[in-house]
Amino acid sequence: MFELSRRLEFSAAHRLHNPDFTDARNSELYGVCNNANGHGHNYVLDVTVRGPADAATGMVMDLNRLAQLLHEVIFVAVDHKHLDHDVPWLTGRVSTAENVAAAMWEQLQPHLGDLLFRLRLYESAANFVDYYGPAGARPAV
Ligand code: NI
């Protein structure tokens, strides 16, 4: 079994703010990330597919096809955008790294099926989240 990964980098703005909470609660909860006019990140998304290498091709999947898919499905939608306002599949969600990763999973999974294994989304070099899909969606490794 192999885990094959492709990295995608993009820059985007966002603001952590839950409209269900008061401004005071949002400020307390999200701190500087609740700044009214937003802030930016240079995000890094590592997409990992998992499976056997095909006997004939020697590949889990064609990395060029994965790169093309990430460009079309993710990069075009989010690069140099405001995640809270410009991305239809993110509107209505608080744009935490967790929620952004889950939304990206929903966008990619129909194209990758059971090959999709993990999304690792970095907001910064120090802060990142790993997502393995909805709970129970696949057997544990
Ligand atoms: Ni942020």
105 C-alpha to ligand 1 centroid (Å):
19
40 C-alpha to ligand 1 centroid (Å):
6
Positive or negative: CA dihedral 28, 29, 35, 39: positive
- In tens, the pLDDT along 47-99 reads 999 999 999 999 999 999 999 999 999 999 999 999 999 999 999 999 999 99
The Cα 117–Cα 76 span in angstroms is 22
Q: Which amino acid is at 90?
A: L
Task: Write out the catalytic residue numbers.
Answer: 33, 80, 123
- In tens, the pLDDT along 95-123 reads 999 999 999 999 999 999 999 999 999 99
Give the global pTM: 0.94
30 C-alpha to ligand 1 centroid (Å):
9
Q: Running DSSP on this structure, what letter comes out for residue 60?
A: S
